[in-house]
Amino acid sequence: MASKVDIDAVLQSLTLQEKITLLAGANFWETVAIPAKGVPSVKATDGPNGTRGSDGNTHAACFPAASSIAATFDTDLARRIGTSLAQEARTKGASWLLAPTVCIHRHPLGGRNFESYSEDPFLTGTLASHMIQGVQSQGVAATIKHFVANEQETDRMTIDETISERALREIYLRAFEIAIKEAKPWAVMTGYNIVNGVHCDSNEWLLTKVLRSDWGWNGLVVSDWGGTNSVAGSLNAGLDLEMPGPAGLRTVSKVLAAIKGGEVSEETINERARTVLELNAKLGAFERQSASSTAERAIDLPEHRALIREAGAKGMVLLKNEKQILPLSKDKVRGKRIALIGFARDALAHGGGSASVNAHYKITPWDALHTALGKSVDFVYAKGAHRERLLPSIGKDNKCGTIVGLDGQPGFTRLWYDPNEPTPVFTVHGCENSTYMPLGSQESLHKILEIVGDFVPVESGSHYLACSGLGATQLFVDDQPVYQQEGNCSDPMGALFQAASEEEVQYDFTANKTYRIRIRTEPAANISLHILEGRSGVRLGFALESDHDADLLGEASRVAANADVAIVFTGHDSQWETEGLDQASFHLPRNGSQDALVAAVASANPNTVVVNSTGVAVAMPWLGQVAAIVQAWFPGQECGNAIADVLTGAVNPEGHLPVSFPKSIEDAPAHGNFPGNYVDGQLKVHYAEGVFVGYRHYDRLTRDKVNFPFGHGLSYTSFQLSDLQVSKQSDNTYTIKVSLSNTGGLVGGTVIQAYAGNSMRSHENPIKSLVAYRKVRLQPGEKQTVELPVSTRDLSYFDTEGQRWVVQHGTYQFSLGFSSADISQVASVEIEKQIVYTL
């Protein structure tokens, strides 16, 4: 509950220096407290699909990723997930959630697309609005991010994007505008990137003109972590809080110097400090007088389990289903042999980076299908392909051998040293694996890290190792140097999220012999990613020679040929699809191995089903060879159960694509302008496609350019639209009325999609845009009349010269259907005179 504290009185009690200290974090997750003046701190936590806590190690519920939620087209579900995420945040002692992410899927290779919703700003903005409302209904702050146009990870801290104001207003800002005006999030996070020559955190046009003036919003603006790029510039532009702490650019001395030099006024400092205090008051922090009301806890709530399973299944999209091979109901497959191939024994629950979660558990498709179909089916398995980006870490639980730390117990020992000191400052035993990354932690600052364990391999061979560190790193086996990295890693962003390329080396091991493995890594110095400065982090991967060099494709073909049905599980694990890196390829990793696997299995078995777990569109060169495809996204910790529910028919699929699936990356609207080109050492990109993003682009091309259009999604039943009517309610509102019938034999749900556009075609304007949608569920044979409100402003375009939104006079077509390409009902309305909306 919001506090009734007198903010003016608190502000007046603070000295100038104290006000300045409020404008940067105290540490990685908390704001500064001033106990003597009654000012508390508040604690933030990531993120969009789960609350990670301070270091990401505390177990937490892992919800479906945003692209999976977007595929539900279900605003009620988005709100329920927001409410649950707020409850999860409380279990981590936090009252400030760093979510949702609403950047647009500009290009299929965007590394962080999975964390955001869609290529369409209307769908993105409305779903984000309901998610925010759910979060803030629990008294937890939502943070809409990353403001704005943070659509790529390549050089994301320095990329300079040239974007027209029209494209910004209609596409990239529009999702923010919808959610901010409707849901009023208490915080906005700026992007790392540069927009039209100015970093987002210092961009006065974005933060003062658009956000606070045009939209009338008055919450807190926080930098992305490590994304503050100026002292005076960011303060004057409207950035209230630099994160993380302690202060980097906003030290008291630097800000006082800026004030003394006339670059920043004390009035600006007062404004920024007031906003920080107002967030504290909204969160009721003055009553708690501490950043966290509870210690971090791992609470596995059954109602959250159920919601995650429900949402994961409802977001899955049935892309193809020839001869109704799906569903694989118990009666249909009794006594059959089903081959589960690829990622069947993996749980592709989430992407990588700050949206990854140490889930309470993860259900694999292998386990879930055994539970769903019991002993009535004979399941067989084949891995099928080498798809790992990096060799897996050695841990307590691995099939390669055993690991014992210096205390004689399972796991590794971590030892932290001050530079030039022979004895460790502190030691941690029983560590799960050979990887340590300092996201959210302070313990690695200016410390040398050693990770030590005694390894006993299960088999002899010239096994594979790969190692990388943030700073200079050495790998030893029995004190013999095996690998050395001189200086900082070449890809700090990839290293931070455990996805940087690593050189593989081989070492001869003998089974059942003990080998001491020791990794020594130094703090990064003068590293290009500021939040890693002075921190130590390292990763060690290991693979048995027999696994690394096995003929997996041949085995998969043999297994598939002897099965009645073959299900190939493809996708990206969190090292391939992650914050910090854009996609390596439009094709599934690695080096075509998964595409070759699907093609080989389909050649061996005509009843091949593909279940693809990615947060983005991918190439499907085998599309014509397989019988069915399910796009499963990243559905959270219940991923296996949700997949099994859809495959067996326990849940009738009702998801629809929130992004277009092009046939070729060359047909994507931003092709040739992603990720950009280097000019004088800086990466720059021109958003040359303008407003023609996603289906707005494909509408202008022949339909053979997409495998599956925006909004596409099949069902195990069938639906029909009829009796479309569009009526004008006022100059600002229309109502669509249409009848939906379930013409099949199963209960099911679908999405009515309403698009609108001026019938007078123009090369400057899209043919149509999504203006309304509704998820409807019907019994077999049921018919329902559905009403959809449409705002007249959503028919407008942004007039840059006039600085206004304009609805041209003329005839407008309202097109209703089940995808952007599957339109079955069209009605026209006449707008007799131009309508103008001011900012």
**For the segment 171-201, what is each residue's pLDDT rounded down to a tens digit?**
999 999 999 999 999 999 999 999 999 999 9
Buried b (16+ CB within 10 A) or exposed e, 314-337: bbbbbbbbeeebbbbeeeebeebe
Task: Answer for the pair 56, 5: CB distance below 8 angstroms, yes or no.
Answer: no
Closest-CA residue to 219 (of 157, 158, 154, 281):
281
Show the tokens assigned to 492.
């700090």
Tell me the backbone φ, ψ of residue 689, rounded to 5 degrees. Answer: -75, -10
Return d(Cα 342, Cα 559) in angstroms, integer: 12
Task: Indicate if the pLDDT at residue 440 is higher than 70.
Answer: no
Residue carrying the six token digits 């407003």: 691
pLDDT in tens, 19-53: 999 999 999 999 999 999 999 999 999 989 999 98
Q: Examine the residue annotation and report whether 224 is marked as an active-site residue of this protein.
A: yes
pLDDT at 291: 53
pLDDT at 82: 98
Tell me the pLDDT band of 91, cut-offs 50, 70 and 90.
very high
Task: Indicate if the pLDDT at residue 1 is higher than 60.
Answer: no
* Percent of the chain's residues with pLDDT above 70: 99
Provide the residue type at 224 as one letter.
D
Greater model confidence, 164 or 492: 164
Greater model confidence, 85 or 437: 85
Task: Indicate if the pLDDT at residue 555 is higher than 90.
Answer: yes
Residue carrying the six token digits 């006993």: 456
pLDDT at 467: 93
Show the tokens assigned to 440.
């959210």
Go through the domains of the chain in sequence order and give each one's CATH number.
Answer: 7-288 (3.20.20.300), 302-388+549-659 (3.40.50.1700), 401-543 (2.60.120.260), 717-838 (2.60.40.10)
pLDDT at 459: 95
Return d(Cα 100, Cα 189) in angstroms, integer: 10
Return d(Cα 495, Cα 469) in angstroms, integer: 7
Q: What is the DSSP letter of 247?
A: P
Task: Answer for the pair 43, 283: CB distance below 8 angstroms, yes or no.
Answer: no
Q: How much is the mean pLDDT over the chain?
A: 95
pLDDT in tens, 276-296: 999 999 999 998 765 555 689
Q: What angle do CA 303, 305, 308 make, to 5 degrees?
A: 110
* Percent of the chain's residues with pLDDT above 90: 88
Tell me the pLDDT band of 217, cut-offs 50, 70 and 90.
very high
pLDDT at 123: 98
Return d(Cα 187, Cα 180) in angstroms, integer: 10
Task: Answer for the pair 482, 570: CB distance below 8 angstroms, yes or no.
Answer: no
Say how many CA atoms lie within 13 Å of 623 toward its Cβ.
Answer: 15
pLDDT at 477: 97
pLDDT at 146: 98
The active-site residue, picked from 74, 120, 224, 240, is 224
The residues pairing with 804 across neighbouring beta strands, listed in sequence order, are 799, 838
Tell me the pLDDT band of 476, cut-offs 50, 70 and 90.
very high
Between the CA of residue 150 and those of 115, 145, 204, 388, 690, what are the distances in Å?
Answer: 12, 9, 17, 27, 16
pLDDT in tens, 452-465: 999 999 999 999 99
pLDDT at 702: 78
Tell me the pLDDT band of 2, cut-offs 50, 70 and 90.
low
